[in-house]
Amino acid sequence: MTGKQDYNYLKEQILRITGVDLNAYKEAQMKRRLDTLINKRGLSGYEEYCNLIKTDKEVKEEFLGYMTINVSEFYRNPDQWEYLDKTVIPELIGKFGKNLKIWSAACSTGDEPYSLVMALSRHIPLNSINIYATDIDNQILAQAKNGIYAEKSVAGVPKDFIDKYFEKIGTSYKIKDEIKKRVTFQQANLLDKNYPKDCHMIVCRNVLIYFTEEAKNDVFMRFNESLAHHGVLFIGSTEQIVNYRSMNYVRKNSFFYERAD
Ligand SMILES: C[S@@+](CC[C@H](N)C(=O)[O-])C[C@H]1O[C@@H](n2cnc3c(N)ncnc32)[C@H](O)[C@@H]1O
């Protein structure tokens, strides 16, 4: 649709208007997605799009929703959740006790933080569980707080939890308040510097795949500083940390890394 120079213009404008630095995202993929969006709206190019984003709140929200994929599901990659249940959670409790500080970073529709509450409930009384969950996209956070899911989203939830913690409404599944109450949702941009401190576990899955290597490594380093000593980082299937030693991590397996000191 438009050339490199125009994309630079778009990046500058988007940063100014939304605070999102598109330099941190892989360019080819991001450009393709935005071109599709601009075409869909029948706009002539980036300049017209930027003018619209400035004045129309709905277009701005649409941009934030569209820039990455929001797809999520409960207990995504079940083997990793099995390892979390059998190994990581018991070790965390052994190290830090049952009052754990856990951050679900880029939580999308809430499937991940709600799965964390359920997984932890096998080890810790429900009313002692608190998950801090963030995402850049306010619309998606509204959906997360609403807590209503299609059948395919909850397909990986253990049967006993489906019966206990979901109410079936037509073909949808509504998560019960006793789980919802354990999660605090907040809008936050991973590219901003204000990360929470002393986390016992950070869960950040399937968002850093959209980031450039440099931005991804920067986030991994800042997560390290946000973790308590020997706290754990849980990442997505395609997001291995290659140079984990230089970032002060010990590798537990491809998806779990512990802060070294
Ligand atoms: C594919 S979803 C991942 C959801 C969940 N973590 C999982 O693995 O199922 C990616 C999420 O990252 C969010 N996101 C993208 N860029 C972000 C940023 N800079 N800061 C915070 N969240 C961001 C998107 O809004 C989206 O909800």
Indicate if the pLDDT at residue 1 is higher than 70. no
Residue 76 in contact with ligand 1 by CB distance below 6 A = yes
Digit-coded pLDDT (tens) for 43-62: 989 999 999 999 999 999 88
Q: Where are the beta strands (DSSP E) in the chain?
A: 102-105, 131-135, 148-149, 166-169, 172-175, 183-187, 199-204, 227-235, 249-253, 256-259
Lowest mean pLDDT among 4-8, 157-161, 243-247: 4-8
94: CA distance to ligand 1 center in Å? 30
Digit-coded pLDDT (tens) for 101-120: 999 999 999 999 999 999 99
Digit-coded pLDDT (tens) for 24-37: 999 999 999 999 99
Residue 258 in contact with ligand 1 by CB distance below 6 A = no
Nearest-atom number in ligand 1 for the CA of 203 is 6
Residue 207 in contact with ligand 1 by CB distance below 6 A = yes
Please name each of the domains of the chain with its CATH number: 3-66 (no CATH), 78-259 (3.40.50.150)
Number of other CB atoms surrounding residue 184 within 10 Å: 11
Q: Which residues pair with 90 in a beta bridge?
A: none
Digit-coded pLDDT (tens) for 53-96: 999 999 998 898 888 888 999 999 999 999 999 999 999 999 99
Look up residue 129 and give its two tokens. Answer: 């569980």
Long-range contacts of 254-258 (CB under 8 A, 24+ apart): 255/77, 255/80, 255/83, 256/80, 256/83, 256/84, 256/88, 256/232, 257/232, 257/233, 258/230, 258/231, 258/232, 258/233
